[in-house]
Structures are given as C-alpha cells and as structure tokens.
Amino acid sequence: MNGSSILSSGTINHGVASSNLAGHTINFRKGSIMKILYLHGLGSGAGSNTARQLANYFANDDVEILAPELPVMPIDAFNFILELQKTEQPNIVIGTSLGGFYARYLHGPLKILINPAMLPTDIVKAVGYGTYSFLKPRQSGEQTYTINDTFVSQLQEIADIQDAFIDDEMLAETFALFGTKDTVVSNYAIFKSIYRDYQAKLIDAEHRLTNENIEHELIPLIDSLRDRCV
C-alpha cells in the first residue's frame, strides 16, 4: 500500500496526519449557508485563481468557499479531502484536473469537474515523470513535487478501491466542463461513456479556466445547482 493506507468511500484513515494542514485552507465567508469546496490541480495550492474568483463573485451572497492546499501524495490528499468533507459537509465540490479525479469519488455533495483527470495514467501523459516546481507558493513551504511510480500507483489504488463505490446516486451528482482547447487532458468521451450527456459541457477554454470562463460557464452551472443544495 506504498506506506499509506486508504479509505473506503466516506471512511477516514486516522493514521494519516492531516491536522497540520488545517492552517492551509483558505475560508471565504465562514458560516455561510452554502459551502463550496474547491480542489486544486496538480502543482497548485490553496486559494488558486478559480477559488478567488468564486469568492469575489459570491462575496455578497451566503456562500462559503473552502480552498485547501492538498497534500502532494495521492493517498494523503484523498484522506485529507474525506476528512474535510466529513467536518465541513460542503454542498458542492469543484475539482480541477487532478482535483477532479479526487472529487468524482466523493459521495454526497454535488460535484463539478473541470477538465478532470479520469485515469491514473492521465498525470503521466500530461507532465511525465520527474520533479517539478509548484505553480504557486505553497503554504507548507514545499518547493517541488515528484511524479514517480509511487505517485501513479497511489492514484491507481484510489481508483481500484473507489470505483466499486460509484453508484447511480453518485453518477447523478456529477457534472463537468471540458475545454475544447485543453491540450493537457482530454476526457470528454470517457466522461460521457460513464455519465449522462447533459452532465457534460464543452466550453471554449484551455486546461485552466480564465476569469471569463469562470464568469460565463462555471458560475452559471453553480447557480443552476443551488436549488439542489437546500
């Protein structure tokens, strides 16, 4: 199990220390009525541009945006997300790229996947093996992360276990946006083979959403789901 243990759907491995990450979550408007948990992609961190744009849009609304800095290693990251889901009980989880890979395995909240990784091998195809600098400063102080066999095998382990827990309810809870100009991962066809056609939308975007994409595509999708969060 690569030194870490995991998790059945909705279960936390309390052997994974995540309490030290509590200070690495940015909370916008704590105590609001609706909670949105945003899971960043590979190499990013807390308070990414997407999370901040959502916070700006919902600044005068009863919406709380949770934007944690995820651990690098997949099993640690997924256990941390499960624990955060248990304590915060978000209404909507939004995941970009690798964050989308994690998000689709969460049971309960509505999920919006943005150009999600759908297969463990997507990360290797996107960036390859090696050591890389983070795209933005990490609150943990980490400077680099490494994609290696252990990283990929942990993603595979998550998929092997969690695929068994995907049911019709989880399928109905999941929506996705796919950029037509995304050259990093392209999983529109895979998504449509699993989920219903209306749950996926092609948009004029690259892998990372621009502020315009967020305003005209992501936010309207969130607004369309709000009645289901009551």
For residue 11, the model assigns a pLDDT of 39
What pLDDT score was predicted for residue 170? Answer: 92
* Whether pLDDT at 134 is above 60: yes
Residue type, position 56, single letter: N
139 pLDDT tier (thresholds 50, 70, 90)? confident
Pairwise pLDDT comparison (60 vs 13), residue with the higher score: 60
Q: Region 144-152: what's the mean pLDDT?
A: 97
Alpha helices in 15-148 (DSSP H): 49-57, 74-88, 98-103, 122-127
Q: How far is CA 112 from CA 20, 162, 228, in A?
A: 27, 18, 13
d(CA 75, CA 7): 9
Do 121 and 41 contact (CB within 8 A), yes or no?
A: no
pLDDT at 216 (0 to 100) = 97
Collapse the DSSP code of 1 into the 3-class scheme (helix H, G, I; strand E, B; otherwise coil) and give the result: coil
Mean pLDDT value across residues 108-126? 96
Q: What's the average model confidence in pLDDT over 135-159?
A: 94
Q: What confidence tier does 62 reach under pLDDT thresholds 50, 70, 90?
A: confident
Confidence of residue 137 (pLDDT cuts 50, 70, 90): confident
- pLDDT confidence of 136, banded at 50, 70, 90? confident
**Phi, psi angles (nearest 5°) of residue 121:** -80, -10
**How high does pLDDT run on average in the chain?**
88
Which structural domains are found in the chain, ordered by start? Answer: 19-229 (3.40.50.1820)
Q: Any residues with CB less than 8 A from the CB of 136 and at least 6 apart, and which?
A: 44, 45, 48
Residues present in the chain in total: 230
- What's the pLDDT score for residue 3? 47
Instruction: Report if pTM > 0.75.
Output: yes
DSSP assigned state of 105:
T
**Between residues 93 and 19, the one the model is more confident about:** 93
Report d(CA 141, CA 134) in Å as an integer: 10
The two structure tokens encoding residue 67:
């934007």
pLDDT band for position 17 (50/70/90)? very low
Q: Is the pLDDT of residue 5 over 80?
A: no
**Per-residue model confidence (pLDDT) at position 83:** 97
- Residue 32 is predicted with a pLDDT of 58
At residue 155, the pLDDT reads 98
